[in-house]
Amino acid sequence: MAEERFELENFLPYRLNRAAEFVGLRFAAQYKARYQLTRPEWRTLAALGSSRRSMTATEIGAHSTMHKTKVSRAVFSLEQRRWLKREEDGRDRRFEHLALTPAGRQAYRELTELASDYQAELHSVLGAENMEALSQGLGAVERAINDR
């Protein structure tokens, strides 16, 4: 019986990770150059900006799949920039509700314009057909995640 050889380049988790790193790092270089944001800061800002309500640090971590220490550091940094405000939970003092300040909302709007431009660049590089196929494939993965 012939032994099957494992091919890392065909292993889906490996391929997804490489693709995510490539796409994510190129965008990170843009927001870092323009706003000096780290990836956790961007992800925290994006989570809060895309939410219609305040969020706790735990919710941000779950939304962005970041460890609580990264969320904590990002929250602190965004608060120092005066882009984020904390409000103690009236019923449970262990929790804080986090929301963007007007300056934070403005930064979020500017960053979403940058993100839209980057999305258009990816669309141009990959082509409409590949973008649609990628979107459908990722949708299937996300549905599987949600069905767990």
| Segment 1-15 mean pLDDT | 86
Q: How confident is the model at residue 145 (pLDDT cuts 50, 70, 90)?
A: confident
Q: How many domains does the chain have?
A: 1
Q: Answer yes or no: is 15 within a domain.
A: no
Q: Answer yes or no: is 47 within a domain.
A: yes
Q: Answer yes or no: is 124 within a domain.
A: yes
Whether 24 contacts 64, CB under 8 Å: no
Q: Answer yes or no: is 5 within a domain.
A: no
pLDDT above 80: residue 2: no
Q: Answer yes or no: is 46 within a domain.
A: yes
Q: Answer yes or no: is 84 within a domain.
A: yes
Q: Answer yes or no: is 138 within a domain.
A: yes
Among 83, 82, 87, 109, which residue's Cα sits nearest to residue 98? 87
Q: Answer yes or no: is 90 within a domain.
A: yes
pLDDT above 80: residue 1: no
| Tens-place pLDDT, residues 21-55 | 999 999 999 999 999 999 999 999 999 999 989 99
- Which domain range does residue 67 map to? 27-147
CATH code, domain with 63: 1.10.10.10
Instruction: Note the pTM of the prediction, 2 decimals.
Output: 0.86
| Tens-place pLDDT, residues 79-119 | 999 999 999 887 877 789 999 999 999 999 999 999 999 99
